Structure 1
Amino acid sequence: MLLALILFIAVLTALLYYRVSLLAGSVLLLLTLFVLALFAGGMWWLFWPVLAGAVVLNYTPLRQQWLTRPVYGLLQKAMPPMSDTEREALEAGTTWWEKDLFSGRPDWNRFQAIDPPQLSEAEQSFLDNEVETLCGMIDEWEVYQQQDLNEGTWQYLKEQGFFGLIIPEEYGGRAFSPYAQSRVMSKIASRSITGAVTAMVPNSLGPGELLMKYGTDEQKQRWLPGLAKGEEIPCFGLTGPEVGSDAGAIPDTGVVCRDTFEGEEILGLRLNFRKRWITLAPIATVVGLAFKLRDPEGLLGDPDKQDYGITCALLPATTEGVQIGTRHNPGTPFMNGPIIGRDVFIPLDWIIGGPEMAGRGWRMLIECLGVGRGISLPALATASGEMNYLTVGAYARIRRQFNMEVGKFEGVQEATADIAVTAVTLEAMRQLVTRSLQDGAPSVVTAMAKYHATELMRSSVNHGMDVVSGRAIQLGPRNFMAFAYRGIPVAITVEGANILTRSLMIFGQGALRCHPYLFDEMQTLEEGDRDRGLQAFDGLLLQHLGHVFSNITRLKLFGFSGSYFSPVPAGCDDFSRRWYQHLNHMSAALAVCADVALGVLGGELKRREMLSARLGDVHSQLFIACSLLKFREHEAPSEALDLHVEVALAQALYKAQNALLGFLENFPVRVLGCAFRLACFPLGRIHKGPSDEQLRRLGDMIMEPNPVRSLLAKHIYLPQDGEDAVGRVERTYQTLLQVDGTFQRFQRAWRKGKVSGQDLDSALADAVAKEVISEEAAAGIRHYDALRFDCLLTDDFESL
């Protein structure tokens, strides 16, 4: 009997693990039970209930009467209605690899087939020439003092097509890939936050992208060539005093009416709007606007429809009634200001896409926001992370306290190790996210990228401020940290505030877009024809139940076995194998916990933002871990890269585990929370994060020339000019590397009393006299020490 029961459980587990179809699984299970009952007669007690259950599940009329219909009715009452804006937001964009991670059973062979993004010859040339030249033209301290880029820089941006990177070549643009756009923006950002933001906006959410995707041929011909050449400067008015992250709450209006335009009475729109925080608005020549369209007189042809919803239009900044030109002061001196319009009358065909696109603006915005979230802001963050790696790592080696480099202190190493890991994580994320944008517009991936990249930027820059300390505080042409620090609030706030992105978007959209059945099920619940909705729901429910029980089975097996036997990509090496297996376990845990949350809390989960945010964190960290594995797979192998990636993976899975435990510990149904914690981690916590030894090794490595430092240096602008804020640090660091051996030998001799002297010069003279070092070596140390002292100085001014 015991053996028969064990065999039955083994067969059931295998059927659920491999998710055999209902009919085939039922037959196999019943045959197994029948054979077992013949050898162990007491098993008949189990055979008959299983047979009855199999009949009910496989015979459609019985299944629908006893299972589907009650569940369908219950959910119709429990689920809140889906608004039009919610539906449009969910239907906008595409899904990508994040859907596999949410499913609980990622297809690693599909992941292996994803090739990393590559630059074309033209894109690489643009980075090496035009972008390099632009960076050399910008002095961020000068920009700060003048509160603007100089005229020559503006002209170069326009003439060289920096504002038309996304515009097709047929209209005079460069048609760069998402990866190339990101590389261009991050290299500019490594030199100037102001320059980067200026170049980002025309290539992000704005008229150019909206016209390319939705504009009429006439609109494209009218505007795209001028935008590509920089003859037209665009801005897009979305946010305002009453609307920030909740773009659906736009109070600005457009009313369909008749009026005179250019001497002729036409059908058009009367706009009234107050927009604020609009980048490039003070100098824009063409304005994109989002507003709510109303047609109270039915002039558009539908007398029963008055409210059309959010609509987007494009108009010249010189249009009568438009007030533009004043500036906000966002701290970083890029052009940003308000736009006000009172009784602005425009023709109907100024609606982007023409009159037939009236009311389609919300979907247009949701799809186009992905570029800003997935390219521009993560590029800004990546530049900061990579610059911090090089500058803070070098400074930690140059700066000495208590006769030792400050980067050797363990407290500092904890911070610099995190800077090192963050830089690699940001670069890895950039590559996988921009690769996803080549295949579509994945809204969940780009939300993850925006939130986590900018939060990592915040962490990295704050660590850098701690290490560089007073040298990073005093503003002036020597400061290489201050402007990145001042730019953090911009990155955190724009394109959807980070709090909202984390607590509402990543899981809120992710659950419905990435779940294989949930969104389709919700649509059947709103079906007007109940019988037709019930028929569609029946098949989805059956598949959903199979999905849930299969994932629970996989989760239990992975939890007890340590996921050692779970699938990994073909050809996976020993380093990556274990990480892929951990991802299998955490993916199954995420899928199960998400289904539990959705099944128990239903619509209430929308209001349980702390719970949903934690599930979003799990999902995001799994995606980050995948980006790290893909990054390592395609970069030149080295011990340094392995260490950086290993620590980054340990951090990602540690964060995912803690987020999942936090979700389960705070789940409102405590019994279920405890039960599923046991199911997810039956042997206790698995991931412990990086060890102190790993952090010490990284803390040492960030101060040394290593393959990762060289890799990151290729993506940023690294000047060698000793009068430049960054160039001064880099020149001093490279000089230190040249004299380091003799300098360390001299320092040891001085500390141990083998060399005497009250100051450096006298001690060097004594060291040469005692043949501890050569005269040439002493001259090199004197030269380095002069650079070192100059590198430590901050700026002072006669008056402010």
Structure 2
Amino acid sequence: MFAKLLKTIKDARLLPQISDTERAALEAGTVWVDGEFFSGNPDFTSMLAEAYPKLPPEEQAFLDGPVEELWRMVDTWKIQETREVPADVWEFMRDKGFFGLIIPKEYGGFGMSTLGRAAVMMKTSGLGAVGSLVVIPNTLGAAELLMEYGTEAQKTEYLPRLASGEYVPCFGLTEPTAGSDAASIKAEGVVFKDDDGEVKIRLNFAKRYITLAPVANLVSVAAGIADPDNLLGKGEYPGISVVLVHKGTPGLELGDHHLPISAFDNGPIIGKDVVVSAENVIGGPGNVGEGWRMLMEQLSGGRAVSLPAGGIASCKLAAAAAGPYSMVRQQFNIPIGYMEGPEAKIAKIAAMAYAMESSRVYVCAGVDNGHQPPVASAILKQHTTEMGQRLVIDGLDVMAGAGVMQGPNNILGGAYIGAPVGVTVEGANILTRTLIIFGQGAVRCHPYALKTLRSLEDDDVPAFKSAVLGWMGSFAMNGLRTLVRGLTRGWSFRSPVKGPTARYYRKLGWASARFAFLTDLALFLVGAKLKQKGKLSGRFADALSWQLFAFTTLRRFEAEGRQAEDLPVVQWALEYSLKQIQDAFEGIYANFDAPVVGWLLRYPGRLLLRANTLSTGPSDKLDRPVANAIQVPGAQYDRIVDGLAMPDENQPGMGRLLKAWRLISEARPAQGKIMKAIKQGEITAREPAAALAEALEKGVVTAAEADTIRSAEAARMEAIQVDVFPKDEYYRNRQSGGDAVTMARAANA
């Protein structure tokens, strides 16, 4: 029976076919907590047992020392204008070890944890071009690949020089015809023997969008290797490999720039008959053809590091600025933060900054503990970069004109301009959502899908029987769980904790059962077409993603000792997450394209789904206490924005805003006395200065309190001002020979 079923499934191609490159992606990394949600019955007790650590003292000292020093010496506005990192900054970063954070101490590096590297990248992400100097050497590229796959000779040769900054690396992967579909690269290397009998590789390639390429002197080139004479013993086409090429190698063209929307060094790399030794392949000649596997394995955990760090930094920056600004800026004689419109934006900023940070710590700690979770990493990459962009836009809405006018005092403008970079690179988010998260997760993290596929490919009837029976049992059980947990609104699922957050674990258990059941329906009834059904798989990805964010939010709340004042923030984030899951389910029900079952889901199913929702979103009543979390100076504000570099109060932009916020908060009790006296008719003046003078005269406030109010008002007026440029400075590009767009047109003419 099962032999016949196996043959029928193979002949009908009911399950997705897996190419070699897809297989490498699927087999890279490990199944982690993402697999719990696919099970339909997540073990939250074991998930809560996963580490949620603080940084080791040595790494915290690096953040408090060299990273803070770097912030004080960098003029981000000037770098944005000149697009050049000053020589003294380069030298400082070399001296302090910024280029070797990822490299083990035995090779001259810092040996920093994943969590620590992410923290450094988060704190330096606001430094523009300087931030990219931290990210590229310490993520996917020469150092990381050499550490994992290099020969001992290569490690000894390159790692100390990379750690010291003698070698500045870049990684050449993306091409005009190969972006998110990196496996389709056209770069080619042909193996041959030179006149001395040495085996070499002749490379031809055209790469673009390569960060640090214009300033790099060591290039890691991903290329397909052809070996027509089988000199390496791996066949005529061993496959994609990563080859090290030094600046100055004949035929290698470096130095030209693209012009990114935010200032950082990025440009093309061209190779025309570039000849290198076969020993330049990372891992040596024996590793030729292993490049795609290497890249997939490193991206499995790597996507959780640099880009999420930047996205979460944007979330925190929005919180750090919008909350205080909403109390400094007044309209209609009240802080705009007390108006319900801005309040709703500020509440979202506070809650999502808290939730996104929880995911960074949890997943990076998981990577440090040996997990390489490709699905969880992809979730972080997509959602943190997009959430950072959205929260910055929300912050700009609150700051209004102060967010529109550029200059040293604009706090959020740089993050807004640079946000599309994070959304685009390391796999554009559109494809990350529609192909990677659920496409990879449905096969890799599902308890039986990959086992079934392997048994089909191997024609292994006993393994196929075991997998199918297990799958059918799981499908039936998740159908039953979905029904029972739906009828009980999750109360039939046992929460691992007690108290006000217990109900959210129950709802997540309910959501997981429905998600797993729908996943099985999709695999059974849509099957191989799921590859093309990006809208459907994207909705599944959303449901999975927000289950992860809801859980990590709960994990943070537990790890930080269930701070009572954080509970409204946690509840807001959880209600928002559950609403995203609910919306994803409704989208799946409405667009499930399958006979009979599709109709049942679209009509009676959707009605029942809407009648028994996971959540309708955060209550309006939650907005006030959540917004208050970042509107009042104190420990709660510090927790939410922790990890950002905060300037001195004499600095422009954020510095002067925080000064005004502090002084206004200090003056609030005295201001309250005056307002009370006005209401009681004790003070008749209405104009602020006159009212203050009358209050002082009548003893409503002391002289010291009056001075505090005057200082606060002066700081308020300074903080809400925007930059003004004289005519000669405003038109400086024209006077120096033309603006960037004009110069680019002339260069391309």
Report the TM-score range of the alignment, normalised by the length of the smaller protein.
over 0.9
Alignment partners' CA distance in 2, 1:796 and 1:649? 43
**Matched residue of 1:315: which SS?**
strand
1:331 to 228, 243, 261: 261
Q: State the AA in 2 paired with 1:588.
A: A
Give the CA deviation at 1:748.
5.6
> Which whole-Å CA distance do the structure 1 matches of 2:475 and 2:11 have between them?
21
- Residues 1:255 and 2:190 aligned together: yes
Q: Is residue 2:16 matched to residue 1:85?
A: no
SS at match of 1:796: coil
1:467 pairs with 395, 398, 406, which one? Answer: 398
Equivalent pair of 1:513/1:519 in contact (CA under 8 Å)? yes
> Which residue of the other structure, out of 430, 433, 439, is the alignment partner of 1:499?
430
1:300 to 228, 232, 240: 232
User: Residue type matched to 2:189 in 1?
Assistant: G
Taking the aligned partners of 1:299 and 1:265, their CA distance within structure 2 comes to 11
Contact 1:275 1:340 in 2 (8 A): yes
- For residue 621 of structure 1, what is the amino acid of its counterpart? W
In 2, Cα distance between equivalents of 1:222 and 1:81? 42
> For residue 544 of structure 1, what is the aligned residue in structure 2?
471
> 2:237 and 2:284 mapped to 1: Cα distance?
17
Whole-angstrom distance in 1 between the partners of 2:184 and 2:581? 33
The letter for the 1-side match of 2:429 is: N
Residue in 2 that maps onto 1:731 = 659
Q: Which letter maps to 1:775? A: A
Higher Rg: 1
Deviation at 1:636, TM superposition (A): 3.6
Query: Are the structure 2 counterparts of residues 637 and 540 from structure 1 closer, same or farther at C-alpha, using a change threshold of 3 Å?
Result: closer
**Do residues 553 (structure 1) and 483 (structure 2) align?**
no
AA at the equivalent of 1:115: A
1:751 positional shift: 7.7
SS at match of 2:194: strand
| Structure 1 residue identity aligned to 2:585 | L
Q: How does 1:133-532 map to 2 (within 5 A)?
A: 133-189=69-125, 191-259=126-194, 264-301=196-233, 305-438=235-368, 439-527=370-458, 530=459
2: distance between equivalents of 1:784 and 1:123?
37
1, 5, 8: which one pairs with 1:73? 8
Q: Is residue 2:40 matched to residue 1:104?
A: yes
Identity %: 37
Between 1:68-77 and 1:484-493, the stretch displaced more is: 68-77
Query: Which residue does 1:45 correspond to in 2?
Result: none
Structure 1 residue corresponding to 2:588, chosen from 639, 644, 663? 663
Secondary structure class of the residue paired with 2:85: coil
1:416 counterpart SS class: helix
Q: How far off its partner does 1:245 sit?
A: 0.8
- Deviations 1:281-316, CA, capped at 9 Å, x for gaps: 1111110010111112322235xx322221111121
Asked if the contact 1:451/1:498 (under 8 Å) is kept, the reply is: yes
Q: Deviations for 1:460-497, whole angstroms, at most 9, x for unmatched residues?
A: 00000101011111111111111111110111111110
Aligned runs of 1:708-727 on 2, under 5 Å? 708-727=636-655
Q: Which runs of 5+ in 1 are unaligned?
A: 1-64
Which among 596, 610, 623 is matched to residue 535 of structure 2? Answer: 610
Asked if 2 retains the 8 angstrom alpha-carbon contact of 1:279 and 1:335, the reply is yes
Among 94, 116, 133, the residue aligned to 2:52: 116
- Opposite residue 689 of structure 1, the aligned amino acid is G
Change in Cα spacing, 1:762 to 1:365, as seen in structure 2 (3 Å) is: same
Change (3 A) 1:676 1:589: farther
The one-letter code of the counterpart of 2:570 is V
Q: How far is the alpha carbon of 1:502 from its aligned partner?
A: 0.4
Offset of residue 130 of structure 1: 1.4
Distance 1:357 1:414 in 2: 54
Partners of 2:383 and 2:699 lie apart in 1 by: 55
Cα separation, partners in 2 of 1:370 and 1:726, compared to 1, 3 Å: farther
CA contact (8 A) 1:259 1:345 kept: no
Counterpart of 1:589 in structure 2 is 514
Cα RMSD for the two superposed structures:
1.9
Shift in Å, 1:758: 7.7
* 1:621-650 deviations in Å (ceiling 9; x for gaps): 111111011100011433321111111011
User: What is the one-letter code of the residue matched to 2:177?
Assistant: E
CA distance in 1, matches of 2:435, 2:574: 25
Are residues 1:703 and 2:638 paired?
no
* Matching residue of 2:742: none
3-state SS of paired residue (2:593): coil
Match of 1:764 among 692, 709, 728: 692
CA contact (8 A) 1:465 1:472 kept: yes
Superposed displacement of residue 585, structure 1 = 0.8
| CA drift at 1:172 | 0.7
**More divergent stretch after superposition (463-472 vs 192-201):** 192-201
* Counterparts of 2:398 and 2:212, CA distance in 1: 35
Q: How many angstroms apart in 1 are the aligned matches of 2:136 and 2:435? A: 25
Cα distance in 1 for residues equivalent to 2:578 and 2:23: 33
Counterparts of 1:761 and 1:559, CA distance in 2: 61
Aligned to 1:33: none
Per the TM alignment, residue 670 of structure 1 is displaced from its structure 2 partner at its CA by 5.9
Matches of 1:783 and 1:141, distance apart in 2: 28
Residue 556 of structure 1 contacts residue 679 of structure 1 at CA under 8 Å; is this kept in 2? Answer: no
In structure 1, what residue type is equivalent to 2:5? P
* Distance of 1:310 and 1:641 partners within structure 2: 49
SS in 2 for 1:278: strand
Q: State how far apart, in whole Å, the 2-side matches of 1:546 and 1:341 are.
A: 55
For residue 620 of structure 2, what is the aligned residue in structure 1? Answer: 692
Name the counterpart of 2:738. none
- Output the CA distance in 1 between the equivalents of 2:131 and 2:191: 38
Amino acid at match of 1:279: T
Give, as a single letter, the amino acid of the residue that structure 2 aligns with 1:538: K
Deviation of 1:724 after TM superposition, in Å, equals 2.7
CA drift of 1:350 comes to 0.5
Matched residue count: 723
Aligned-partner residue type, residue 185 of structure 2:
I
Once residues 272 and 678 of structure 2 are traced to their aligned partners in structure 1, the CA distance between those partners, rounded to angstroms, is 76
Residues 388 and 419, structure 1, Cα contact 8 Å, conserved in 2: yes
Cα distance in 2 for partners of 1:391, 1:138 equals 20
Aligned AA (2:27):
E
Which residue number in structure 2 is paired with residue 18 of structure 1?
A: none
SS at match of 1:307: coil
Q: What is the aligned partner in structure 2 of residue 37 from structure 1?
A: none
Moved more, 586-595 or 264-273: 264-273
Query: Helix, strand or coil for the counterpart of 2:525?
Result: helix
Deviations 1:146-204, CA, capped at 9 Å, x for gaps: 21222211111111111111111110111111111111111122x42332222011111
Equivalent residue in structure 2 for 1:781, among 709, 732, 745: 709
Task: Tell me the secondary structure at the aligned position of residue 312 of structure 1.
Answer: strand
SS of structure 2 residue aligned to 1:235: strand
Aligned counterparts of 1:108 and 1:409: Cα–Cα separation in 2: 39
* TM-score (structure 2 length as normaliser): 0.93
8 Å Cα contact 1:650/1:690 also seen in 2? yes
Structure 2 CA distance for aligned equivalents of residues 270 and 336 of structure 1? 25
SS of the equivalent of 1:397 reads: helix
What's the secondary structure of 2:501's corresponding residue?
A: helix
SS in 2 for 1:148: coil
Distance in 2 (alpha carbons) for counterparts of 1:279 and 1:499: 21
Which amino acid in 2 is paired with 1:766? E
